[in-house]
Amino acid sequence: METLTKKINGFKSEEIVTTVQALQKDPSLAYFEFRARNKWMSGGHNRSTIRDFYGGGEEDTSRKKAFVFDNGEPPILLGDNEGANPVEYVLNALAGCMTTTMVLHAAANGIELKSVESELEGELDVQGFLGLNDQVRNGYKQIRVKFKIDGDITEEQKEKLYAFTQMSPVFDVVTNQVPINIVLD
């Protein structure tokens, strides 16, 4: 029983087991719909709010107030640094999701970690999105991710951690084409 109540990497083993069992029993609980709302403010500045979502078979009401993200651009890209720019948020989302995915799966597999840090770099040529060169991609042409992991881990466990990072939903979003339906009202 001690193994189930034990916390590994900040996750309670019992909660991992209970969640997995619930999803195995009723796969419909695995469906989630996340939402973001955005409003243009001025120039390159716009603001996103994130609060409600559907998951686990119902609307979630745990968030009492919205998370607010200001999107901006640095002056060299015609902005006033109102916030990180959207492609920087992609790096943030990728870092956060790969880290959480790795740490959660490590916990589920009994791999204890002391710390995890990452550095991400994305290469982007703005000629693409500015319409100056149709041979240049609009988005990142490459993203480099470097993890620094502290823990008493074997080479085999390190290989598992590497595989866990690729189970990240955001990793999937940026490495596979996701259909996007755009509607203009």
pLDDT per position as a tens digit, 48-98: 999 999 999 999 999 999 999 999 999 999 999 999 999 999 999 999 999
- Closest to 49 measured CA to CA, from 41, 38, 58: 38
- pTM score: 0.91
| Residue 27 placed within a domain | no
Beta bridge partners of 97: none
| Residue 31 placed within a domain | no
43 neighbors 80 (Cβ within 8 angstroms): yes
pLDDT, average across residues 94-122: 96
Domain CATH number, residue 108: 3.30.300.20
Between CA 24 and CA 163 the distance in angstroms is: 22
pLDDT in tens, 136-153: 999 999 999 999 999 999
pLDDT at 44: 93
Between CA 65 and CA 112 the distance in angstroms is: 33
Percent of the chain with pLDDT over 90: 94
- Closest to 42 measured CA to CA, from 88, 84, 80, 87: 80
Number of domains making up the chain: 1
Please give the residue range of the domain that contains residue 104: 85-176
